[in-house]
Amino acid sequence: MKALTGSQANFAQNSLDGELTIKGLWALLRRRRSVVYGTTLVLFGAAILYCLLSTRRYEVTGEVQVQKTPADSLGLDVSGNGGAGGDALDANITMETEANILQSDTLALKVIKELHLESSPDFKPMFNPIGWALGLVSPKGPADPPNAPLEDSPHKLSHMLKAFSHNLTVKPVSGSRLIQITYLSSNPHTAAAVVNALSAALIDYTFQTRFNATNQASGWLSNQLADLRKQSEDLQARVVELQKKAGIVTLGDDGTGRTPAYSSVLDRLEQATTALTQAQSSRIEKGALYQAIKSGNGELISGLVGNSITAGASPGVNSSLNLIQNLRLQEATLQGQIGELSAKFGSAYPKIEELQGNLHSIQKAIQAETHRVAERAQNDYLVAQGVENSTQKVFDEEKKQADAMNDKSIEYAIARQEADQSRTLYETLLNHLKEAGVLEGLRSTNITVVDPGRVPAKPAKPNVPLVLAGSLLGGLFLGCCGALLADVMDNKIQDVSELEGYIGGLPIGILPKYTQDDRKQLPSSLSKGLTGPGSNFMALQEPRSAYTEAVRALRTSLLLSRGGSPPQSILLTSSIEGEGKTTLSINLAILLAQQGKRVLLVDADLRRPSLHKSFNVSDTLGLSSVLAGQIDSYLDAGTTAPLKQVPTLHVLPAGPIPPYPTDLLASTQMQDLLAQWRTEYDFILFDGAPVLPVTDSVFLSGLVDTTLLIARYDYTQRQSLNRSQTLLQTQGGSTIGIVLNSLTRRTGAYYDYYGYKNSAYYGTKETARENA
């Protein structure tokens, strides 16, 4: 039996090291299924009430299309060609902008006024406890004046706009130019009217914005054209005057609206400038090519093939670069072959030496060709530098001649350019002004209605299936959380495997729960007036019940616990009262006596005795009388054999309640009396007092061979069992066995331990005979 009981260290440590597995979680949920079911039913009932009592709300959805807008600088071109401005980023920005406009307070206020939504039930103020509580501590503005319009009532206006925004949903359709407008209302016609009115308000807003922009541009252009016209005329007159003074010849209109002028000096200067620019560009490119080749980096040189920097290089350089690239490819191929053969056949493979020789030859050729191409690139660079120097000299000479000309020719060119620009600007603005005059009379917009809002046939909220399904899932989730919390907060013994972890081994016995329905009246022929249907004689009333069989298993464990020398004196106690120790004492004593053994059942609970009630015997004299010396022999203390069916079972009641029960049980008289009983009886069973309230059983456990500590399923606290076991172990005189009592057969804990919930072997004699 010692092997079945762990130390306190194991008890405490095992209680902390438990890990929640899937199987353990499932067992926990089965234990706490009432919490899960209750929470789920409460939420499901609340969801049903919500569906029955909540206001039906109708949802209407409409769609508008945002067409491409022009990208003209003044926004006056309505040809519809988006050009570069119609890219994806610009389209996304446009869609987001239009969606934000739909949700703006300006359009909301316009729709509220048009549809007279102030009187709609959706916009009536409702009591909000959170808002009311915040209003008590937050500052309030002045109250709205009575009968004031909506614009002059800030509180009412804020409430209307919040209610409108709460019921409105605007969502751009991804991958398209469509915007969905959704509105919720208790009136289906109101919901459809709001969607349509909001679409129309967006169209009006877009048109008004573009019309105002066009009108404003037209007015600005009208003011600017007069000044531009006079400025253009003055510049043109100045050009004519400077042309005469500079002696520049004009060649007439070239058919494109331009008037070309000719000057030989300026023409040569322009040609010299072009030649110098080309020479400098050639020198820079060839210098860069030379520096790249000069570095000697084979990877860099090979990458120059096909690069724009080699476009102006000599054919010799390009052919060398192509050759180097080809040699590099051959080098890489040979290196790959050598690596593959080395990995497959090892470095001593003959073919590898041949390939390494070829690789060495190619690498030497690459080095030689790199040296040659560097020399050719250097020659090209020096030639380009010489060409640049000669061209620079020509440019300097032409520039001197151009500087010698009258400065008025240059002034003429500048003036003519200014005059041309002024004339072009004037003509462009004049054309825009004409377009603006036409657009002012057009009602143009890029917003079109695709799907107007239509009156729905049924409400969208509450969504009964979704609400009920959500309540079930939420109830299950919260129920599981509640079950976990309840199990964490509950410190009672709930699982057999957990108990094994607490005590460091298997309990010596596990007894199923029995109810009043399991008890039957003991026949009068078997008793001497014992108590009626409430008696606890399951071993006689239902000898084939699950409880009786479990007590038989406990009896067997006791008989085999000490290697053929079973314990003679046994104390049955518990942590607190109500854990079933008296019932177990009676039935264990009966089963031991049924084997023909002489059994003495002693009521050692000298504070609240109960055996005399169960056996219906007198407690005028008893154990306390013998220990107090009031009588000489325990046989004179009311020791009887109350059951005819088990005549070898003797019962000794507790007797009168003494003033100091603990002193009596710890006295030498008790030791002497127990020694006498050992010679007269095969088994002595003590029905002791609970361990935690009093210390009677603690002292008595040091006198007996074995102590059975009874723990009741879903009743005994784990710390109580731990403390009781610790107190009993302090005596060190007897082995301690844990017995788990009152385990309901319908629970998962019973099935997890035994592997079944019921058996045909359990029942009455009639049931057993029918099953046979």
Instruction: Give the residue-averaged pLDDT of 16-37.
Output: 75
| Residues 503, 399 share a domain | no
Worst-scoring range by mean pLDDT, 40-54, 207-221, 624-638? Answer: 207-221
Mean pLDDT, the chain, rounded, equals 76
DSSP state of 24: H
Using the 3D structure, point to which of 404, 438, 460 is the last residue of a domain.
Answer: 404
Residue 558: pLDDT above 80?
A: yes
Strands (E) across 531-648 are located at 569-574, 599-603
> In what side-by-side order are the strands of the sheet with 178-185?
168-172, 178-185, 58-66, 447-451
Q: Strands 599-603 and 683-687: what pairing?
A: parallel
Check residue 136 and give its pLDDT. 62
Check residue 297 and give its pLDDT. 64
239-280 residue pLDDT tens: 676 666 665 666 555 556 566 666 666 677 778 788 878 777
| Residues 507, 378 share a domain | no
d(CA 198, CA 548): 81
DSSP state of 143: P
pTM: 0.51
Closest residue by Cα to residue 202 from 106, 118, 68, 116? 106
Cis peptide before 149 (omega within 30 of 0): no
572 within some domain: yes
| Residues 520, 400 share a domain | no
341 within some domain: yes
| Residues 766, 625 share a domain | yes
667 alpha carbon, distance to own chain's centre: 67
| Residues 691, 564 share a domain | yes
3-state secondary structure 396-410: HHHHHHHHHCCHHHH
Cα diameter, the chain? 161
H helices within 440-580, ranges in order?
464-489, 496-503, 538-541, 546-559
Q: Which residue has the tokens 């169209």?
A: 203
Check residue 17 and give its pLDDT. 46
d(CA 449, CA 440): 23
Strands (E) across 394-542 are located at 447-451, 509-512
258 within some domain: no
Q: Are 276 and 391 in contact (CB under 8 A)?
A: yes
Closest residue by Cα to residue 594 from 526, 505, 664? 526
393 within some domain: yes
d(CA 115, CA 707): 87
Torsion angle of alpha carbons 87, 93, 94, 96, nearest 10°?
A: 140
Q: Show the tokens assigned to 344.
A: 């497959």
Torsion angle of alpha carbons 10, 13, 19, 24, nearest 10°?
A: 50
- Range ranked top by mean pLDDT from 487-496, 601-610, 615-624: 601-610
Instruction: Give the residue-averaged pLDDT of 400-414.
Output: 66
In the chain, the percentage of residues whose pLDDT exceeds 90 is 13
3-state secondary structure 220-234: HHHHHHHHHHHHHHH
Q: Show the tokens assigned to 20.
A: 């929640």
Tell me the helices (H) and strands (E) count for the chain, helix number first.
26, 13
CA end-to-end span of the chain, whole Å? Answer: 36
How many Cβ atoms from other residues are within 10 Å of residue 162's Cβ? 12
How many Cβ atoms from other residues are within 10 Å of residue 414's Cβ? 11
Residue 84: pLDDT above 80?
A: no
How many Cβ atoms from other residues are within 10 Å of residue 442's Cβ? 12
Nearest 5°: CA angle at 435, between 434 and 440? 105
Worst-scoring range by mean pLDDT, 503-512, 679-688, 762-771? Answer: 762-771
CATH number of the domain to which 666 belongs: 3.40.50.300
| Residues 532, 648 share a domain | yes
| Residues 728, 615 share a domain | yes
Check residue 766 and give its pLDDT. 47
Using only C-alpha atoms, what is the Rg of the chain?
Answer: 54
Worst-scoring range by mean pLDDT, 6-15, 22-31, 81-90, 733-742? Answer: 6-15
Q: Which residue has the tokens 């322009």?
A: 270
pLDDT bin (cut points 50, 70, 90) of residue 40 is: very high
- Domain hosting residue 626, numbered range: 496-771
Residue 682: pLDDT above 70?
A: yes
Closest residue by Cα to residue 598 from 669, 683, 510? 683
Check residue 83 and give its pLDDT. 45
Using the 3D structure, point to which of 404, 429, 453 is the last residue of a domain.
Answer: 404
Residue 527: pLDDT above 50?
A: no
Nearest 5°: CA angle at 666, between 662 and 667? 115
82 within some domain: no
Q: Strands 261-262 and 447-451: what pairing?
A: unpaired
The residue that leads in pLDDT, 736 or 13, is 736
447 within some domain: no
| Domains contained in the chain, number | 2
Contacts of 563 (CB under 8 A, 6+ apart): none
Using the 3D structure, point to which of 404, 420, 448 is the last residue of a domain.
Answer: 404
Closest residue by Cα to residue 338 from 327, 349, 324? 349
125 within some domain: no
Q: Strands 261-262 and 178-185: what pairing?
A: unpaired
d(CA 301, CA 322): 10
The residue that leads in pLDDT, 297 or 749, is 297
| Residues 364, 500 share a domain | no
| Residues 399, 513 share a domain | no
Q: Which residue has the tokens 């000794």?
A: 652
d(CA 163, CA 140): 20
Q: Are 762 and 545 in contact (CB under 8 A)?
A: yes
579-619 residue pLDDT tens: 888 999 999 999 999 998 999 999 999 899 988 888 888 88
Supply φ then ψ for residue 288, to 5 degrees. Answer: -65, -40
| Residues 517, 377 share a domain | no
The residue that leads in pLDDT, 394 or 409, is 394
70 within some domain: no
Instruction: Give the residue-averaged pLDDT of 161-177.
Output: 89
